Amino acid sequence: MAGPETDAQFHFTGIKKYFNSYILTGRMNCVLATYGGIALMILYFKLRSKKTPAMKATLTWTSSVKFRCLEKLMSTHHAILNLYNKL
Partner 1 sequence: MNENLFASFAAPSMMGLPIVVLIVMFPSILFPTPSRLINNRLISIQQWLIQLTSKQMLAIHNQKGRTWALMLMSLILFIGSTNLLGLLPHSFTPTTQLSMNLGMAIPLWAGTVITGFRYKTKVSLAHFLPQGTPLPLIPMLVVIETISLFIQPMALAVRLTANITAGHLLIHLIGGATLALINISATTAFITFIILILLTILEFAVALIQAYVFTLLVSLYLHDNT
Residue 10 or 67: the one with the smaller Cβ distance to partner 1 is 10
CB count in 10 Å sphere of residue 23: 22
Residue 17 or 27: the one with the smaller Cβ distance to partner 1 is 27
Q: Judge whether 25 and 18 are in contact, CB under 8 Å.
A: yes
Q: Judge whether 30 and 20 are in contact, CB under 8 Å.
A: yes
Site string for partner 1, 12-41 (x = CB under 8 A): ---------xx-xx-xx-xxx-xx-xx---
Kindly identify the residues of this chain, within the stretch 37-66, that bind partner 1 according to CB under 8 A. 37-38
